[in-house]
Structure formats: C-alpha cells, structure tokens
C-alpha cells in the first residue's frame, strides 16, 4: 500500500484501489463533499480519456460514498525507471504517442495536472497514462501550457541527457492531435520567460 498526501493506494493482483484520505483540518461536511467531488471527477475524466482513445486503467467501480475507485492494474514498467536503459530509437515512438495522448486530452479540455515519466507505464510496447488525481476540465490555454511545461521540467530534471529529444517528440505527437497547439506552445514560452524573470529577480534581490 502507498499512502500519499491525497489518497492511499492498495495494489491487488489485477486491480488497484484508490481511496481519498480524510482531512482533519477541514470541516467534516466540507471534507466529504470535496473528496466525493474529486473522486467523481477523476473517474469521469478517466472514462472520457478512455473513450477518446487514450490508454488509461479501466474503471471497475466508483464508490462515491467512501471516496474510493477500483480500477484495472496495469502490469507494466514505470517509464521513469526504465527509459535510461533504452535507446533513442526505442524512445522516439513512445514519446510521440505520449504527445498524441496529451493532444487528445487537451482537445477535450482535460488537464492531467501531473504529467511526469513517473505517471507513464510501459506495457508490451504500449504506453499508458495513470494517476488522474489532480486532473480537471479547463478550456484555458494557460492550463494546457502548464500541463506541457510540467512534463518538460520533469524530463529536464529527471533525464537530463536526452530530455530535449524526448520533449520534441512529445510536441510532434501533440501537434497531430490538437489543433490549438500553436497558442499552447506560445503560452508555454511565456510561462518559461516568467519563470526565468522570477529567478533573476530573486538572485538580484539576494
């Protein structure tokens, strides 16, 4: 079992049970309402993602009363743990597919919210996206740009030797599936500039 900040996750042979944790610092009624709402939203987003062709774990059961989701367990390898041993030729189609999936999600205004190689599972040559706990619906270009920016930063920090190739392949796939890609990439550049400006400001202040 894994216990995180928002949920505890129990692994069984062929399924995963995710239950949102009660927050003692919130009023009981408010906490229940928030946890139920987020549980329902996560399940809805995963169902929609599957419907549009994104590989995600299949939902088995949603227990809104207990803020619990039972879903298919994907018996594969975490991409974060295996990609350093893979060649660029092997990684290229994988990250293009990741980009296609993100493009499909964004075309339906689905923001994953935690796009990292730790939330990508490789099974039999196919890639799966997991952990939609922070996902939400949004038509905003800013939110889509932040989604991509988070993946870029995760690649840069975790896989510094070839992150640029991998992210370029992501963008290639993204462009194929999301018509609004130009505005998103333009906004992502603005986000990166804002980040550089804040870092320079803090450095000058010190």
Give 8's DSSP letter.
E
Exactly one of 114, 131, 147, 165 is catalytic; name it: 114
Q: Is-contact 115 102, C-beta < 8 A?
A: yes
Residue pair 114/192 in contact (Cβ under 8 Å)? The answer is no
In the residue annotation, 114 being an active-site residue is answered as yes
Q: Is 40 exposed, middle or buried (0-12, 13-18, 19+ CB in 10 A)?
A: middle
Q: Are 167 and 155 in contact (CB under 8 A)?
A: yes
- Show which residues are catalytic: 114
């Amino acid at each position: 079992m894994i216990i995180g900040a928002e949920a505890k996750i129990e692994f069984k042979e062929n399924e995963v049970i995710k239950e949102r944790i009660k927050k003692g610092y919130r009023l009981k009624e408010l906490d229940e309402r928030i946890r139920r709402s987020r549980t329902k939203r996560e399940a809805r987003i995963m169902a929609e993602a599957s419907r549009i062709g994104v590989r995600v774990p299949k939902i088995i059961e949603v227990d809104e009363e207990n803020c619990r989701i039972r879903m298919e367990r994907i018996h594969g390898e975490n991409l974060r743990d295996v990609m350093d041993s893979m060649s660029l030729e092997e990684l290229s189609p994988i990250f293009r597919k990741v980009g296609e999936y993100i493009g499909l999600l964004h075309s339906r205004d689905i923001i994953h919210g935690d796009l990292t190689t730790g939330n990508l599972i490789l099974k039999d040559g196919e890639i799966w996206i997991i952990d939609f706990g922070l996902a939400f619906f949004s038509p905003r270009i800013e939110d889509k740009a932040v989604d991509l920016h988070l993946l870029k930063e995760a690649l840069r920090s975790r896989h510094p030797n070839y992150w640029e190739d991998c992210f370029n392949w992501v963008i290639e796939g993204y462009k194929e599936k999301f018509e609004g890609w130009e505005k998103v990439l333009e906004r992502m550049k603005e986000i990166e500039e804002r980040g550089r400006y804040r870092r320079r400001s803090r450095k000058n202040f010190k």
